[in-house]
Amino acid sequence: MKKTIELLKKHDELRVIDTELDIYLEIPHLAYAEVKKEDGGKAILFTNVVDKKSDKKFEEPVLMNVFGSYKRCELLFGRTIESVADEITNLLHMKPPAGFMDKVNMAKELFSLKNIFPKRLKGEGACQEIQFFEDEVDLSMLPVLTTWEQDGGPFITMGQVYTQSLDGAMVNLGMYRLQVYDNNHLGMHWQIHKDSSHFFDQYQKAGKKMPVTVAIGGDPLYTWCATAPLPYGVNELLMYGLITKKPAQLVKSLTNDLYIPKDVDYVIEGWVDTDKLQTEGPFGDHTGYYTLEEPYPVMEVSAISMKKNPIFLATVVGKPPLEDKYMGWATGKIFFPLLKTTVPDLLDYHMPENAGFHNLILAKMQPLYKGHAKQFMHAFWGAGQMSFVKHAIFVDEKAPSLNNYEAFATYILNRFTPKSMFITEGILDALDHSSDETLVGGKLGIDATLANPVEAPNLLGDAELLDKVQELIPDAQELHQYMRRTNNPVTVITLKKTKNAKEYFNALMSLSTNIRIVVFVDAKANDVLNPYMLIWRVTNNMDAIRDVYTSGLMVGVDGTNKSVVDGFTREWPDDVDCTPIVVERLKAMSLWDLDEELNNKYQL
């Protein structure tokens, strides 16, 4: 971590804040504002960290937003992201050598792979210089942040969670939310689809406690590796060796048999009683919503160790854009070659950060036959973490760049008809709140590889159209039409909702010559002129099976919050919002310097 700080300083990528700030809301709010700046702002080192509730001052600093720009990602990787992807591509397409020089070159390449495998060392590591056991264990000695006002408590956000299968044959490194319950208990928010959850099932069936070790800090690449979507049973630290050409050097935990990198800053180790669950949450999460209380496994901490003079690494979650925008960018590029092994005719893909990644994927492919795009949809919805994607749009090789949203949207909307849509059901991320039941919900695929030209509607101005809409729907408040020059303009209508959105859609049938695609959102907390956050809202809030309607060439999408009028029986969570009094306090200290235009755009 010290090397990382020096690297960031050298490249003018670090903001140092010496003002006394609280781990409760103040530090995370400021980091949340920083990452919203152009190009992700800077990494922040908080050097004067306190817990005002317990009147405690921490000796260690807190480092945040370390991955929060494209430049910083490549600094931390020590090479271009494309070079990592190219290396994986070369490995996947390695062919038998045709001659002597081919054999020599292959031998060199294979010899370099010896460094990707983690190396287990004897003895203790720098991460174990200071040790606490039994009654000495106290999680409050760590500056664990509480990010949002409605959070169920503090939680570790950048924890590297090390687990292994019951027989010890497989190890896993993951990143999960870790709620601090008290001095010696941590919540394990590993969702049912995750590797650690599969290991948990093995220990539970065997009636044994499960060893878990959590590391914080060290080389930031350890933390990125914890997010890597590798196949089940593959050790994520192999990626560290592949990227750095150095094996991760591991030492054994003090009180269980798990190995962790020797140079992390903190180690929290213990055991999970597989017969016990504890309520976890609520917590504001990267969806931009609070996730609700649910029972999860809990770890009893048996030891805490740390370096001398450690540095606490943390991140912040909430509404986009966040640090995961840049981590996800690196992940997407690096794992593209692996995805192509499932769908070889895939040319490119992109997951916009304002759709929370899992809520929307844009993909360019080489269509070879009728139904090829639908085949891709099924492949995506069955491939590892891609299976959590809710909405997928496929275009052919002639489409514009997936990052050029204006041109890309134009291309789709000029080729779209309702028959371009494919709606099915599949698994959802545990953080998704929109479906009628947890973990399962609607999926929407759009096949824009084929042109389905239709005539453009008879467009009216926004004011004239709003008048006509309000005659039919008195609950309508505001209206704006996007992509008016295309064959399928998108009309966004805000509502003071009193009934199910399908009734509003049906009421608009007399305007079918003026409207093509209509999207309903609540008037509260939505700006009809803010497309960035409208995409965030709608892709979060819709379940395609329930919330997409068609009539002729008209398509309706319900992006409103759901309630009893929709037959929705689950609790609907609140948005994640900054606490105004905390923001004002940071402004008074001349620390909050986010431009008001960005504050409004990202609806902080």
> What is the full DSSP assignment across 411-454?
HHHTT--GGGEEEEEEE--TT---SSBTTEEEEEEEEESS----
User: Does residue 23 sit in the same domain as residue 70?
Assistant: yes
Say how far apart CA 143 and CA 50 lie, in whole Å: 8
Residue 88 burial (C-beta neighbours within 10 Å; 0-12, 13-18, 19+): middle
With a CB cutoff of 8 Å and minimum separation 6, the contacts of 502 are 549, 556, 558
Cβ pair 535, 408 in contact under 8 A: no
Q: Please give the DSSP secondary-structure letter assigned to residue 32.
A: H
Nearest CA-CA partner of 243 in 7, 81, 73, 72: 81
Among the listed residues 216, 255, 232, 223, the one whose alpha carbon sits nearest the alpha carbon of residue 327: 223
Number of domains forming the structure of the chain? 3
- Answer yes or no: is 97 within a domain: no
Task: Note whether residue 334 is domain-resident.
Answer: yes
Burial class (CB in 10 A: 0-12, 13-18, 19+), 183: middle
Q: Is residue 102 part of a domain?
A: no
What is the DSSP secondary structure assignment for residue 82, as one 8-state letter?
A: H
| pLDDT recorded at residue 115 | 79
* Residue 292 is assigned to a structural domain of this protein: yes
> Does residue 85 form part of some domain?
no
Q: Judge residue 229's burial from the number of C-beta atoms within 10 Å of its C-beta, 0-12 exposed, 13-18 middle, 19 or more buried.
A: middle
pLDDT score, position 110? 54
Q: What residue type is assigned to position 36 of the chain?
A: K
Same domain, 276 and 145: yes
Residue 521 belongs to domain with CATH number: 3.40.1670.10
Claim to verify: residue 196 and residue 241 sit in the same structural domain: yes
User: Is the same domain home to 362 and 250?
Assistant: no
Helix, strand, coil percentages (3-state) for the chain, rounded to 5, are 30, 25, 40
Q: Under a CB-based contact definition with an 8 Å cutoff, are residues 386 and 367 in contact?
A: no
Residue 592, in any domain of the structure: no
What is the distance in angstroms between the CA of the first residue and the CA of the last residue of the chain? 30
Question: Residue 413 falls within a domain, yes or no?
Answer: yes
Asked if residue 362 and residue 494 are part of one domain, the reply reads no
Radius of gyration of the chain measured on its C-alpha atoms: 25
Taking a C-beta distance cutoff of 8 angstroms, is the pair 515, 457 a contact?
A: yes
My answer on whether 307 and 328 are in the same domain is: no
CA dihedral (478, 483, 485, 489) in degrees, to 10, reads -70
For residues 430 and 499, state if they share a domain: no
Q: How far is CA 366 from CA 326, 374, 376, 529, in A?
A: 27, 13, 11, 35
Look at the block and give the residue holding tokens 């210089």: 129
Question: Of 366, 338, 333, which is closest to residue 350 (Cα–Cα)?
Answer: 333
Only one residue has tokens 């995409």, namely: 535
Domain boundary among the residues 314, 331, 361 is at 314
Q: How far apart are CA 15 and CA 9, in angstroms?
A: 8
> Are 411 and 395 contacting, i.e. CB atoms less than 8 angstroms apart?
yes
Lookup: tokens for 554? 């008209």
- Per DSSP, 575 falls in state B
- One domain for residues 206 and 278: yes
Q: What is the dihedral of CA 510, 514, 519, 524, to 10 degrees?
A: -80
Q: Are residues 130 and 275 in the same domain?
A: yes
339 and 386 in contact (C-beta within 8 Å)? yes
User: Residue 289, CB half-sphere, CA atoms under 13 Å: how many?
Assistant: 24
Tokens of 527: 């700006």
Residue 424 token pair: 């099915």
Same domain, 155 and 263: yes
Helix pair angle (323-334, 81-92), 10° resolution: 30
Do 518 and 554 touch, CB atoms closer than 8 A? yes
Residue 274 and residue 333 in one domain = no
Domain final residue pick, 269, 290, 314: 314
Number of helices and strands in the chain (H, E): 18, 31
Pairwise CA distance, residues 256 & 247, whole Å: 22
pLDDT score at 185: 97
Name the phi and psi angles at 195, rounded to 5: -60, -45
* Rounded distance between C-alpha atoms, residue 219 and residue 222, angstroms: 6
Phi, psi at 321, each rounded to 5°? -80, 150
CA-to-CA distance for 601 and 425, rounded, in angstroms?
33
- Asked if 61 and 203 sit in the same domain, the reply is yes
Which amino acid, residue 55? D
Neighbours of 491 (CB within 10 A): 27
DSSP single-letter state for residue 61: -
Last-in-domain residue among 261, 287, 314 = 314
Per-block mean pLDDT, blocks of 10 residues, the chain (604 long): 96 98 98 95 98 96 97 94 86 61 55 80 96 96 97 96 94 94 94 81 95 97 92 88 94 97 98 94 93 93 97 96 92 87 90 89 94 91 85 96 96 96 93 93 96 91 98 98 97 97 97 97 97 97 97 97 95 96 97 94 95
Alpha carbons 43 and 30: distance in angstroms, whole number: 11
Beta strands of 459-523 (E only): which ranges?
476-482, 490-495, 517-522
Residue-range definition of the domain harbouring residue 482: 462-566
* CATH number of the domain within which 254 lies: 2.30.110.10
- Dist. CA 409–CA 421, nearest whole Å: 15
Name the phi and psi angles at 577, rounded to 5: -130, 145
87 belongs to a structural domain: no
Measuring CA to CA, which residue among 265, 305, 272, 267 is closest to residue 136?
305
Residues in the chain: 604
